[in-house]
């Protein structure tokens, strides 16, 4: 059994494999365009081909995997236009989420968002990309839960599943760490402390706009090389 093998828990095995593969793709353990060979995946995660196929279909529906004729599944490659479109949608949804959180979140959810901000700061200071991504995900879980709107949460999580592929690019931009902390601090203050829907909306818009500029800038550099 390899170190990556999936541990059997009460959660459905397919869900565990989907989550493990998603993390590997986001961390670019599997880079855009890489083939996802079933036999290799079976050995890596110690599961059957049926489970791997089900997981790949799920990730295909999220836009993280592409089925290529005569080649099989591979990690999706986002074009600059794809990325621009995704960030436009994310900006609209996230700004609405921030505004609704300020209006609807409970005191406990507000306190938890402040706590998650602290975790993001620690993770960013660690310099570990995986820890940063995980802490940011936990922060957004609280933000979305506090909207009281399951549809916004569902749609934004779907969009984020694809923009996560670009987070390592946005984080690679010079000075992005410090700006990220400042932006999320502004969101937290507006949504969870001051309970100001308009300011929360503007703070979320700024954060996504800056993340988009950073990621797209890095994408253009890579394309130019």
Give Rg (Cα) of the chain.
18
pLDDT tens-place values along the chain, 225 residues long: 444 555 544 357 888 899 888 888 877 788 888 999 999 999 999 999 999 999 999 999 888 899 999 889 999 888 899 999 999 999 999 999 999 999 999 999 999 999 999 999 999 888 887 788 889 889 999 999 999 999 998 898 888 878 877 776 666 666 778 899 999 999 999 999 999 999 999 999 999 999 999 888 888 887 776
* Rounded-to-10 torsion of CA 117, 118, 121, 124: -90
In order, the DSSP letters of 43-59 are HHHT--HHHHHHHHHHH
Q: Which helix (H) or strand (E) holds 66?
A: strand 65-68
Q: Are strands 72-75 and 65-68 parallel, antiparallel or unpaired?
A: antiparallel
Which residues are 67's β-sheet partners? 73
Q: Is pTM beyond 0.95 here?
A: no
Contact 75, 36 (CB under 8 A): yes
């Amino acid at each position: 059994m390899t170190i990556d093998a999936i541990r059997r828990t009460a959660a459905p095995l397919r869900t565990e494999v989907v989550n493990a593969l998603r993390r590997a793709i986001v961390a670019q353990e599997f880079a855009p365009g890489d083939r996802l060979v079933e036999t290799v995946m079976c050995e890596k995660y110690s599961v059957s081909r049926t489970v791997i196929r089900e997981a790949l279909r799920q990730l295909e529906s999220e836009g993280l995997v592409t089925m290529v004729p005569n080649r099989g599944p591979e990690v999706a490659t986002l074009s600059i236009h794809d990325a621009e479109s995704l960030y436009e949608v994310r900006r609209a949804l996230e700004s609405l989420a921030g505004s609704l959180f300020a209006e609807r979140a409970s005191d406990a959810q507000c306190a938890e968002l402040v706590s998650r901000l602290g975790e993001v700061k620690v993770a960013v200071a660690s310099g570990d990309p995986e820890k940063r991504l995980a802490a940011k995900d936990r922060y957004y879980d609280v933000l979305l839960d506090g909207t009281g709107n399951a549809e916004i949460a569902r749609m934004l999580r779907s969009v984020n599943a694809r923009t996560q592929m670009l987070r390592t690019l946005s984080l690679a931009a010079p000075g992005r760490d410090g700006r990220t902390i400042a932006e999320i601090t502004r969101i937290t203050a507006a949504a969870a402390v001051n309970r100001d829907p308009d300011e929360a909306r503007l703070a979320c818009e700024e954060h996504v706009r800056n993340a988009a500029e950073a990621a797209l800038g890095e994408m253009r550099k890579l394309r130019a090389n």
